[in-house]
A and B are shown apart, each in its own frame.
Chain A
Amino acid sequence: MDILITEGLSRRFGDLMAVDSLTLRVRAAEIFGLLGRNGAGKSTLIKMLTTLLPPSAGSARVGGYDIVKDAGRVRGIIGSVPQALSADGELTGRENLQVFARLYDLPRALRSQRIDEGLAFMGLAEAADTLVKAYSGGMIRRLEIAQSMLHRPPVLFLDEPTVGLDPVAREAVWEHIRELRARYRTTIVLTSHYMDEVEELCDRVAILRRGRSVAIGTLPELRAGTGNPEASLAQVFSHFTGDAAESGAAYRETSRTRQSAQRHA
Chain B
Amino acid sequence: MKPPAPDRARSGTPERGAPLPAPTPGHAVARYCKDVYAIAEMEVRKLRHDPGELLTRAIQPVLWLLVFGQVFARTHAIPTGDVAYIDFLAPGILAQSVLFVAIFYGISVIWERDLGIVHKFLVSPAPRTALVLGKALSAGVRALSQALIVYVLALLLGVGLDLNPLHIAGVLAAIVLGSGLFSMLSLIIACIVKTRERFMGIGQVLTMPIFFASNAIYPLSLMPDWLRAVSHVNPLTYEVDALRALMLANGTSDFGLVVDFAILLAAGAMLTAIAARMYARMGF
Interface on B for A, CB 8 Å cutoff? 1-4, 6-7, 9-13, 31, 34-35, 37-39, 41-42, 45-46, 49-50, 114-117, 119-126, 283-284
Contacts and interface: CB of A to CB of B under 8 A. Distances in A.
A107 B35 CA distance: 13
Interface string A52-95: 11000000000111000000110111111011111110110001
B9 A105 contact: no
Contact of A88 (B2, B12, B117, B122): B117
B192 to A, nearest CB: 18
A61 to B, nearest CB: 9
The 10 A-B pairs with the shortest beta carbon distances in the complex, nearest first, are A64-B3, A86-B116, A82-B116, A52-B283, A102-B38, A84-B116, A75-B125, A90-B46, A76-B10, A154-B4
Interface residues of A, number: 50
A152 interface: yes
Contacts of A76: 6-7, 9-10, 125
Nearest to A99: B42
A96 to B, nearest CB: 9
B1 A86 contact: no
B46 A88 contact: yes
Contacts of A151: 9-10, 12
B176 to A, nearest CB: 21
Contacts of A263: 115
A127 to B, nearest CB: 16
Given A63-B4, A73-B6, A75-B125, A105 B119 contact: no
Contact of B123 (A52, A84, A131, A152): A52
B9 A154 contact: yes
A88 B116 CA distance: 9
A100 interface: yes
